[in-house]
Amino acid sequence: MTRILSVGTWNPPYQVKQKDVMAFARELFRQDFDQIDRLLRVFQNGEIEERYFSQPLSWFRQSHSFEEKNQLYKQLAVEASVQAIERCLGNPAYLNEKIPPDLIHAIIFISSTGLSTPSIEVTVMNRLAFHPHTKRMPLWGLGCAGGTAGLSRADDYCQAYPTHAVLVVSVELCSLTFQIGDKSKSNLVGTSLFADGAACVLVCGDESPLLKRSRMPFLPRVLAQDSVLMPNSEDVMGWDIRNDGLFVIFAKSIPAIVGFWLKPVLERFLNTYKMSVTELQYFIAHPGGRKVLEAYRDALNLHGKILEDATEILRKYGNMSSPTVLFVLDRVMKKEKRQGEKGMAVSLGPGFSAELLLMEWGLGT
């Protein structure tokens, strides 16, 4: 079975308080909405206290071209990837010995907040001296679903090559997509939620020699995974790509969709493996927002503490899109475990789609 061996995370240097972003949004949107203070409750009720941006808040008061923002994205995405990879391959919380990059067989690079060809991992491989025969699998357009999808694709690869090791690298610089001229409610909601971050996860086949470098008594093993598309739902979430860049599409129906669509999807998935949600010790949810977490809890009858890790990541980091679920995974993996405990990673993204990954903690080697 595929094992998850280590995680590394990164955030940019500009930590912003939610109250300061709310004041910025009031200044920006007050001429466009009659009831601006009522709409700004989304900042107060979102259970986000602070986030990280790639630029100081003053930078967002000016208009910036798509070219300028994308050039900044490419530069910062390389730096974020390098930092996350180095922290993953040398994380003393997970590893008893650092792992050199040239022992990695494949990189799955995930991002949806900027454009680059060659893709970002090419520059990263040159910076960190990866083996030139390292397989590259860049994934674009998965949005918030990308973190769990990356783990699933790494599982596919490691099942085919059980001696190999894969890095799942997820980088999103959501703040750089901000459109100062977009006065839509979607942009207002996005301004209240989105942030910047990166994560790297080391995934190994069950015959990988790197498993001997683990210092964890138990590692999560992938039991099953699935991808599910909701038909004819392209307008629920995504980007509207225009001359000025990426404009957010964020339907207010998303929490309701979690309630009526995701519950049977999850139940069918678990029933296939003769399990139910009540048998999960960990629910590693992408915290898209407070209402989405509440929809998970209500639709699936989850007990209060099982969402505490996702809630805490949302509170401290906001919604970083695809890396966010990997931040939750990092927090869960550092907890003391017992053999046989089970968890599920769940992310929702454009399509509208769900990515599901079932795992069980077992002996590391």
Which residues does the annotation mark as catalytic? 144
Q: What angle do CA 266, 168, 72 make, to 5 degrees?
A: 115
CB distance 139 to 153 below 8 Å: yes
Coil vs helix vs strand at 119: coil
Rounded to the nearest 5 degrees, what angle is found at the Cα of 89, between the Cα atoms of 85 and 94?
Answer: 125
Sign of CA dihedral 7, 11, 13, 17: negative
Neighbours of 232 (CB within 10 A): 8
Strand partners, 173: 196
225: three-class secondary structure by DSSP: strand
Quote the CA–CA distance of 240 and 249 in Å, as a whole number.
7
For 205, other C-beta atoms within 10 Å of its C-beta total 23
**Whole-number Cα distances in Å, 331 to 270, 283, 292:** 24, 12, 20
